[in-house]
Amino acid sequence: QKEVEQDPGPLSVPEGAIVSLNCTYSNSAFQYFMWYRQYSRKGPELLMYTYSSGNKEDGRFTAQVDKSSKYISLFIRDSQPSDSATYLCAMGRNQGGKLIFGQGTELSVKP
């Protein structure tokens, strides 16, 4: 069993839809939870970052962490074609800087 599980998709939605992306994990030592966005043939870039449990909102994006369930989510409201990318969840403990990534979910937003 992988430390971080993420459905690879692909996920296809119409423009304007609400998108929900999720990851589960097994290591309760994780304290830092991130979502990276990776466009085709590019490097990942940090989209959202949350420490411990709770919600964080940034524009159309909301990240949620539920440590009791070992479950994290990313919601995208009013999705746009420019949101089409692979979304990778990543997690880290409080030392060492090592990140464990999920497999990534490929999202396509159709005009």
Partner 1 sequence: DTAVSQTPKYLVTQMGNDKSIKCEQNLGHDTMYWYKQDSKKFLKIMFSYNNKELIINETVPNRFSPKSPDKAHLNLHINSLELGDSAVYFCASSQANGRGGNYNEQFFGPGTRLTVL
Q: Taking a C-beta distance cutoff of 8 angstroms, is the pair 72, 4 a contact? A: no
Q: Is 84 in the site for partner 1 (CB under 8 A)?
A: no
Task: Give dist(CA 19, CA 78) in Å, integer.
Answer: 8
- Reduce the DSSP state of residue 81 to 3 states and report it: helix
Rule CB under 8 A: choose which of 14, 43, 59, 111 binds partner 1: 43
Region of 5 (left: φ > 0; alpha: ψ -120 to 50; beta: rest) is beta
Q: Is 101 in the site for partner 1 (CB under 8 A)?
A: yes
Rule CB under 8 A: choose which of 49, 60, 73, 75 binds partner 1: 49
Rounded to the nearest whole angstrom, what is the least distance from the CB of residue 14 to partner 1 in the complex?
Answer: 24
Q: Is 46 in the site for partner 1 (CB under 8 A)?
A: yes
Q: Taking a C-beta distance cutoff of 8 angstroms, is the pair 19, 85 a contact? A: no
Q: Using CB under 8 A as the criterion, which residues of the chain lie in contact with partner 1 when the complex forms?
A: 8, 31-32, 38, 41-46, 49, 51, 86, 88, 92-101, 103-104, 106
